Amino acid sequence: MEHIRAVVHGVVQGVGFRYHTCQVAQELGVKGFVRNQPDGTVEIVAVGTSDQLKTLLHWANKGPTGARVTQVETEPYTDAADFDGFTIAR
């Protein structure tokens, strides 16, 4: 399993980005969380296979209707947290 952290930039708050990310991640069987950041970005922390994470990131580069993604930064996620499903964090 791979662990990643992605930060999504653009118009990504107030457009259902977290909800739809959670839906896509759950459909893919990815574990982790998504949350809004104070700077207007959305953070995604995800654990899954390489293919699952590629699919999730491909979706995140577009987002739901109404979102305008300008950039997705990714990096390995080094916290060895064990997630139970995929959730929207507050």
pLDDT of residue 13: 98
* Rounded-to-integer distance, Cα 79 and Cα 82, Å: 9
Q: Which positions are annotated as active-site residues?
A: 18, 36
Of the candidates 63, 23, 73, the one whose C-alpha atom is nearest the C-alpha of residue 43 is: 73
Architecture of the domain delimited by 2-43+53-77: 2-Layer Sandwich (3.30)
Phi, psi angles (nearest 5°) of residue 22: -60, -45
37 pLDDT above the threshold of 70:
yes
Q: Are 26 and 83 in contact (CB under 8 A)?
A: no
Mean pLDDT computed over every residue of the chain? 96
Report domain extents, the chain. Answer: 2-43+53-77
Task: Kindly tell me if the per-residue pLDDT of 90 is higher than 90.
Answer: no
Burial code (b: 16+ CB inside 10 Å, e: under 16) for 29-38 equals ebbbbbebee
Pairing status of strand 86-88 against strand 31-36: parallel
Which pTM was predicted? Answer: 0.96
Q: Average pLDDT for residues 43-65, to the nearest whole number? A: 97
Stretch 57-74: mean pLDDT, rounded?
98
